[in-house]
């Protein structure tokens, strides 16, 4: 079973993907963690690294191609990342998480201690706009097109356990 979990920054994709992997025993690969690790290696914050990625297509392509390769070679996997629903060709279940900007910014602030509200909101908005431009330019993907997804869920309305229950029910239904 190949499951993808996608959504904008702060929507809870990593949390849900970890829960799904833990409950199903599927392997987890996260594009966000790869991206954050590459930014840290270069001593850049996410906004600066995103701007660099906008001028260096090799960064996104490296992350995306690695995810695609791993997913193609692995039957039982949860792939988390903004583009995973588009990039994992033979996914059995594609999930998109969404939440209001204010909720997502609060979550980003909690994750990245020290950020103030205005800075976190500006960084989140710029990061999303930067990613949307890159995805359209590099792959012709409109990140706002949710048609590839089997489930579109609001992570503000549902906590991670409820989201997990919904996705696991869909997971079980597909297996039937």
Residue 143 forms part of a structural domain: yes
Residue 172 forms part of a structural domain: no
Angle at the Cα of 19 from the Cα atoms of 131 and 104, rounded to 5 degrees: 40
Range of the domain at 103: 2-160
The mean of the pLDDT values for the chain is 88
Residue 173 forms part of a structural domain: no
HEC string of the chain equals CEEEEECCCCCCHHHHHHHHHHHHCCEEEEHHHHHHHHHHHCCCCHHHHHHHHHHCHHHHHHHHHHHHHHHHHCCCEEEECCCHHHHCCCCCEEEEEECCHHHHHHHHHHHCCCCCHHHHHHHHHHHHHHHHHHHHHHHCCCCCCCCCCCEEEECCCCCHHHHHHHHHHHHHHHHC
Q: Count of domains in the chain? A: 1
Instruction: State the Cα–Cα distance between residues 90 and 86, nearest whole angstrom.
Output: 10
Domain of residue 152, CATH code = 3.40.50.300
Q: What is the pTM of this model?
A: 0.85
Angle at the Cα of 3 from the Cα atoms of 112 and 10, rounded to 5 degrees: 20
pLDDT at 54: 77
pLDDT at 96: 98
Give the tokens for residue 51. Answer: 């701007």
Residue 7 contacts residue 155 (beta carbons within 8 Å): yes
Give the tokens for residue 138. Answer: 């590099």
Residue 97 forms part of a structural domain: yes
Give the tokens for residue 29. Answer: 């690969």
Listed as ranges, residues in the chain with pLDDT below 50 are none
pLDDT at 35: 79
Residue 166 forms part of a structural domain: no
Residue 24 forms part of a structural domain: yes
pLDDT at 22: 96
What's the pLDDT tens digit per position in 143-176?
999 999 999 999 999 999 999 999 999 989 987 5
Residue 66 forms part of a structural domain: yes
Residue 170 forms part of a structural domain: no
């Amino acid at each position: 079973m190949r499951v993808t979990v996608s959504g904008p920054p702060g929507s809870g994709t990593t949390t849900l993907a970890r829960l799904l992997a833990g409950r199903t025993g599927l392997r987890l690969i996260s594009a966000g963690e790869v991206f954050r690790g590459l930014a840290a290696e270069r001593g850049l914050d996410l906004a600066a690294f995103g701007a660099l990625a906008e001028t260096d297509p090799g960064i996104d392509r490296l992350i995306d191609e690695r995810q695609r390769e791993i997913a193609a070679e692995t039957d039982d996997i949860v792939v988390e990342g903004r583009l995973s629903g588009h990039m994992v060709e033979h996914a059995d279940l594609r999930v998109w998480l969404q939440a209001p900007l204010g909720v997502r910014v609060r979550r980003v602030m909690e994750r990245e201690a020290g950020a103030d509200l205005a800075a976190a909101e500006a960084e989140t908005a710029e990061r999303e706009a930067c990613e949307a431009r890159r995805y359209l330019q590099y792959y012709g993907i409109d990140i706002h097109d949710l048609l590839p997804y089997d489930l579109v869920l609001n992570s503000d309305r549902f906590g991670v356990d409820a989201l997990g229950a919904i996705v696991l029910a869909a997971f079980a239904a597909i297996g039937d």
